[in-house]
Amino acid sequence: MEQRVLVANRGEIAVRVMRSCREMGIPTVAVYSDADRDALHVELADDAYHIGPPAPVESYLNAGTILDAAHRSGATMIHPGYGFLAENADFARRVAEEGLTFVGPPPEAMLLMGDKAAARRTADHAGAPTIPGTPDPIDTDQAAKEAERIGFPLVVKAAFGGGGKGMHLVQSADELGDAVERSAREARAYFGRPEIYLERYVTRAHHVEAQVLADASGHVSFLGERDCSLQRRYQKLVEESPSPVVDKKLRTRIGNAAVAIARAAGYVNAGTVEFLVDEDGHFYFIEMNARLQVEHPVTEMITGLDLVRLQILVALGETVEAGAEPRGHAIECRINAEDPLRDFLPGPGLITGFEPPGGPFVRLDSGFGEGRRVVGDYDSLFAKLIVWGEDREAARRRMLRALNEFRVEGIPTTMPFHRWVLDTEDFREGTVHTKWVEEALPAGGLAAMQRAASEPIGDGRLTRGGAASVRPVHLQVEVDGRRVPVAVWGDEVRTPPAPPASSAHGHAADGSGEIIAAPMQGTILRIMVEAGQAVEAGQTVCILEAMKMENHITATREGKVAEVAVSTGDVVDTGQPLIFIE
């Protein structure tokens, strides 16, 4: 029977899956929302079907619409990628019930490992060490009692999701209520379920995960570990393999624990078992991600294996014993459309310039290119830069070289952050931990990044910030109803200009007050103040959601709220007035 794979995802992972399918001679089907009509994954697929508006719940999380597209296209298999429906057991079950093959674990294993409390019980039964936490998912009403039992500091996590989404550190009981509400809200937005759980926080930990691959015949392979310790607010930014803190003995113990957990769960296909390693070298199970990970390319680079191809072979019922011996060292940088010099502010927009790096052992996974738009409706990740070297230092130097070659214009990127990180002594020595970024940035890291971002490289045409120093920014403006192209030359402006006085409704026009404007396009999630209320400098006045991130908009001075110009649910543009303070 001829196979046909529908990729139920978007962006770089959809492109990644399609490329493996093409090498296997398997036709592919793309699905796309209104926001992705001109996306690269739509262009690369053999067929493409529209599935709804930009909102994920109406498109990429709409199981019925995706299954309808699968039947209309004649697809025989569905690959979910990561995120969206990738760990949704109900979706995997519906795929099987409708006569299609799901490229992933069976729904029973997915349900077991997707319930983080049940996953911890499974790890206990398998003999793996675990961190104290709630035995079952809880709601907001139960949080205070469970937190008192577990103790602080603790972490609030989404019970039916992963990837750091909906995860918040709580240092004391005073912070618990807000963290629980925010985690539940984000969990519902990302995974469709608001349940949460609590877990004791391990300080200065290293995040180490084990890649496993299991087939239906009972073979379970351990394909090495990855180190994902370099994170910011629980979002991974740099990954590498092997881990610099794992020796041969610890690697064996982690691998054996991961394989035992996969067997205990009845797991089939590719999966990742995540652990924390403390300063004394003890490791603890935290969760299992029942899907392909964002950072899977570093494992592919050191093993020479195509994990997507192996996923498809397992899904087709073939016996797969992957026993490749890892060689060398690989590093991955997640390139996000965010400005690290402005507290990683998301920056969706049109990519006006895109020149990828090249050279030996350099790989770029991306769903974007010049002339394509990074939209604000989804995650800010738009590319992954991966390199391989014969040892860690060779890989580190190669990554720095590749980052310096990579040019992206039109949107901000996290490349200045990556250049700074890879050149720090802590990274070179392999001592970074999961809270290192939050500690290092205010301790001089931000200033170092700002200096490095403005340094010219090569022939001086580019700066280390990734922008061309002698190239204009191209804009389209409208004059008397006619669109006119404009080239703007000059220094980069990192903050949006204040709205003109005519748009300020009379408030702060004399310069005595403040107009708080939207720093980016997004949706007003919550208004925190009202007219007549006194505010202090640094106080949050509203929460703006952009690229699936909650951004707290704060006042820069004390005063009194003269007017709230927006309402909850409003979609606002960059520079649009939100709050007027006098």
Span 428-484, pLDDT tens digits: 999 999 999 999 999 988 888 888 776 665 544 454 544 444 455 656 666 655 456
Residue 495: per-residue pLDDT: 45
Task: Report CA torsion sign: 34, 36, 42, 43.
Answer: positive
pLDDT at residue 206 greater than cutoff 50? yes
19-43 per-position pLDDT tens digit: 999 999 999 999 999 999 999 999 9
Q: Tell me the residue ranges of DSSP E strands in 402-495.
A: 407-409, 456-457, 462-463, 473-479, 482-488
Mean pLDDT of 179-205: 86
pLDDT of residue 234: 84
The answer for 430, left when phi > 0, alpha when psi is -120 to 50, beta otherwise, is left
Which tokens go with 18?
A: 């399609």
* pLDDT given for residue 556 in this prediction: 87
Query: What is the percentage of the chain residues whose pLDDT exceeds 90?
Result: 70
Report pLDDT digits (tens) over 495-538.
Answer: 444 444 444 444 444 556 789 998 888 889 999 999 999 999 99
Which class is domain 5-103?
Answer: alpha beta
**Angle between helix 116-125 and 107-114 (nearest 10):** 100
Q: What is the pLDDT of residue 546?
A: 83
Average pLDDT over residues 316-323: 92
Pairwise CA distance, residues 82 & 279, whole Å: 31
Note whether 194 and 188 are within 8 A (CB): yes
* 0.85 surpassed by pTM: no
- Please state which CATH number belongs to domain 133-200: 3.30.1490.20
Q: Domain map of the chain by residue range?
A: 5-103, 133-200, 206-463, 501-581
pLDDT at residue number 357:
98
Asked whether the predicted pLDDT for residue 112 surpasses 70, the reply is yes
Of 102-106, 155-159, 259-263, where does mean pLDDT reach its minimum? 155-159
Residue-wise pLDDT for 215-232, tens only, equals 999 999 999 999 999 999
Express each pLDDT in 389-439 by its tens digit.
999 999 999 999 999 999 999 999 999 999 999 999 999 999 999 999 999
Determine the topology of domain 501-581 in CATH.
OB fold (Dihydrolipoamide Acetyltransferase, E2P) (2.40.50)
Model pLDDT, residue 459: 47
**What is the spatial distance between Cα 54 and Cα 62, in angstroms, rounded to a whole number?**
11
CATH class entry, domain 206-463:
alpha beta
Average pLDDT over residues 340-350: 92
Does residue 309 contact residue 213 with C-beta atoms inside 8 Å?
Answer: no
Residue (of 478, 458, 479) closest to 470 by Cα position: 458
